[in-house]
Amino acid sequence: MGLEMDTMASAIGVSIPVLRFLLCFISTLPVSFLWRFIPGTLPKHIYSAFSGALLSYISFGFSSNLHFLVPMLMGYGSMILYRKRCGIITFFTGFGYLIGCHWYYMSGDAWKEGGIDATGALMVLTLKVISCAFNYNDGLLNEEGLREAQKKNRLLRLPSLIEYIGYCLCCGSHFAGPVYEMKDYLEWTEGKGIWSFSGKGAPSPYGATLRALVQAAGCMALYLYLVPHHPLSRFSEPIYQEWGFWKRLSYQYMSGFTARWKYYFIWSISEASIIISGLGFSGWTDSSPPKPLWDRAKNVDIIGVELAKSAVQLPVYWNIQVSTWLRHYVYERLVPKGKKAGFIQLLLTQTISAVWHGLYPGYIIFFVQSALMIAGARVIYRWKQAVPENKGLAKKFLDLIGLAYTLLVLNYSCVGFLVLDLHETIASYASVYYIGTILPIMLILLSKIIKPPRPAKSKARKDE
């Protein structure tokens, strides 16, 4: 078996630990499919917990489940002992443990050298544990003062321990997400809510699963084709410094473009796993006859990312479920009641996202850069909104500016996310004269001078 693993790993150009992880990751498809045939609610929770723990053990070793137990037990303990503050307690203890693991394992170095550990799965698990605690905390609050997401996801009762573990480890979904809510997991398992299917049969997931798998295959094929032509090592090679400005800038674009297809592949597989289990179902269309929607597990809109007209749209298209988590459990909760969110809330949210990814300087720089990128994109958006509707050409021009701005600044910024090292990140930014940093700052400063007029209030509004 060891020889076969070595042969397979050599054939596809990965290490044995990475191959083992990939096999376990792909195994989440049949594991999730079999969940459908487990009879009864309690057996389903047991199966979810056991299958996730077993896949983790095979992929990462026994220590992985010990690591997972720490934030899980801290979160559950806080819900039992101090419900009134369990959300914020779990947030700091969960992130504290994750940061400790990031510091100890420094997984980015291992990943670059072909290794892998359980830190990536722990990242997803941490978000699940925190959201569960916040939702149980919200169950104490007056519904009138809650946001729509809080009303929808709040928990009025404490989940049992087996429900909690099943939610955290369900069918290996903690490997790469997507992040989903405890309330959705419980209703799915119990056949309630949108999963009750009263008056109509359960929709077939197979067509949507097949589409996700075809997308995954296409993404991996394109990645394998592109990656030999755009290695990240090129940034530290002498030939890169010999190139002119435009060639360096285009290489930054292509390196970011290439790397994204690897993530598209991973998220497409995880989407297929959640869809085939049934958890990916999110309701019915308004058409006649109604058709099932399967976007609960959707983590990326590839066309949306690659052709985004504004950087503000990127969180809606990229790593969608984590972006949603950050909005509901960080960004919105940082805004005082009666106040509007500003750059500080955006910067803090992006910083927390950076720390969640790891402690490398490249992550920190990328997410600070992304806060600048989004702030600059908002300036372009406000200018566009100020253009009268009859000036269609001007609006199209600003759309084109927004697209070019997003492509340039996103792929410039993501070099830090990819290379991680401080020196390499700064050197790559310097090689294009920090254009992706200077441009958003210039737009922000320019917005102080060229202030778009506020949209005129409608007559109905004036009469109120």
Average pLDDT of the chain is: 90
Residue 109 confidence (pLDDT) above 80: no
| Residue 199 pLDDT level (bands cut at 50, 70, 90) | low
pLDDT for the residue 387: 83
The label of the residue with tokens 């693991």 reads 101
| Residue 462 pLDDT level (bands cut at 50, 70, 90) | very low
Percent of all residues in the chain with a pLDDT value above 90, rounded to a whole number: 70
DSSP label of 330: I
pLDDT for the residue 452: 65
Residue 20 confidence (pLDDT) above 90: no
One DSSP character per residue, 263-317 reads HHHHHHHHHHHHHHHTTT--EE-SSSS--EE--TT--B-HHHHHT-SSGGGHHHH
Percent of all residues in the chain with a pLDDT value above 70, rounded to a whole number: 92
pLDDT for the residue 155: 97
Over residues 91-113, mean pLDDT: 83
Residue 168 confidence (pLDDT) above 90: yes
Over residues 339-351, mean pLDDT: 86
pLDDT for the residue 110: 62
Return the higher-pLDDT residue of 453 and 256: 256
Residue 459 confidence (pLDDT) above 70: no
pLDDT for the residue 287: 83
Which range scores top for mean pLDDT: 17-31, 121-135, 310-324? 121-135
Residue 454 confidence (pLDDT) above 70: no
Residue 426 confidence (pLDDT) above 60: yes
Of 394, 381, 393, the closest CA to residue 311 belongs to: 381
> Residues 284, 290: contact at Cβ < 8 Å?
yes
pLDDT for the residue 5: 64
Over residues 429-448, mean pLDDT: 94
Residue 376 main-chain phi, psi, to 5 deg: -65, -40
Residue 179 confidence (pLDDT) above 90: yes
pLDDT for the residue 429: 96
Residue 457 confidence (pLDDT) above 50: no
pLDDT for the residue 461: 37
pLDDT for the residue 16: 78
Over residues 375-386, mean pLDDT: 89
Helices of type H across 82-118: 86-105, 107-112
Of 276, 79, 98, the closest CA to residue 172 belongs to: 276
| 357 is known as an active-site residue | yes
- Of these residues, 67, 328, 357, 423, which one is catalytic? 357
Distance CA 10, CA 5 (A): 9
Distance CA 189, CA 198 (A): 15
Distance CA 82, CA 380 (A): 46
Over residues 62-86, mean pLDDT: 95
Distance CA 7, CA 220 (A): 20
pLDDT for the residue 449: 85
Residue 177 confidence (pLDDT) above 90: no
